Amino acid sequence: MDLILSIIVNGLMLGSLYAMVSVGLTLIFGITKVINFAHGEFMMIGMVLTYLFASYFGMHPYLALIFTVPLLFGLGIVVQKYLIEPLKDSDEHIQIFATVGLSIAMINLVLLIFGSNNLNTPASGMRQVVNLGPAILLTGQAVIVLCSIVMVVSLHLFLSKSQMGRAIRATAQNRNAAQLMGIDVSRINMITFGIGIACVGIAAVLLSPLYPVNAQTGQSFVLIAFVIVVMGGLGSITGAFYAALIIGLVDAFAGYYLGSSLKDVAVFGIFLLILIFRPSGLFGKSRKLAHVS
């Protein structure tokens, strides 16, 4: 029983991390309809920035949030305005190729500056052990779980209660009607893309003390993020959150009972089963942004 509880706790931690990465990705798709293949690289850039702030300026890694997240928010706006927006009338494949090209450019930029070596952000106490009965968790892992919940709840409140959030939801439901009501859809797209990248920036900062970063780090997370987004229902924040927890638990149990070499088989097996019996995903609603509840 103690072993099962320990696996569950670690699975929820891993799922919470996946949720923080995936929520931003599904928000971007739900509003802009852009499949952002550079999402993992934005996470990698966020981890590199956290490393720089912590290693060269002596900051606590979490303090880097106040710099890294706004920088990534601004970078997201720039990418949407100058790379994605000019291609809005082009074929969808052109936008995909643009984000793939951006991904390759970001990877090679980091390789050019830092090489292929791992960059280790100072742990700053985030690797201290927390005992939850029979389960063992690191301080940084506990923070990830709490922040994941806070992020999803905050996004729900922002989308449902604020004027900007209502404009974002209106754009997701019907872009043409939103324009007729005076909503600047291009501005909404930029802000949404920025928020989505800021979300993955938060995940990057929280993960940095626990996980080394190199130019390929983002690719380790982006494939699972896409699985979660599709599994939860394209554009559904609620679906992405619950799908991330499911994938985290499956990963943890499969990793223990099947070994690291077979755990991906279990993860993608669950993914395929859900798509077979529910092709639209857990919370899919005709590719529209779902309300977080």
Whole-number Å distance between alpha carbons of 28 and 190: 10
Q: What are phi and psi of 285, to 5 degrees?
A: -140, 75
Whole-number Å distance between alpha carbons of 211 and 59: 17
| pLDDT for residue 111 | 95
Whole-number Å distance between alpha carbons of 132 and 139: 11
Percent of all residues in the chain with a pLDDT value above 90, rounded to a whole number: 47
How do residues 211-222 score in pLDDT, each as one tens digit?
999 999 998 888
Look up residue 156 and give its DSSP letter: H
Quickly tell me which residue has 């920035």 as its tokens.
49
Strands 135-138 and 129-132: antiparallel
| pLDDT for residue 197 | 96
Mean pLDDT of the chain, nearest integer = 87
Whole-number Å distance between alpha carbons of 288 and 173: 6
How do residues 178-227 score in pLDDT, each as one tens digit?
888 888 999 999 999 999 999 999 999 999 999 999 999 998 888 889 88
Between 289 and 117, the higher pLDDT residue: 117
Whole-number Å distance between alpha carbons of 31 and 185: 10
- Please say if the pLDDT value at position 108 is more than 90: yes
| pLDDT for residue 293 | 42
How do residues 242-285 score in pLDDT, each as one tens digit?
999 999 999 888 888 888 778 888 888 888 888 888 887 777 65
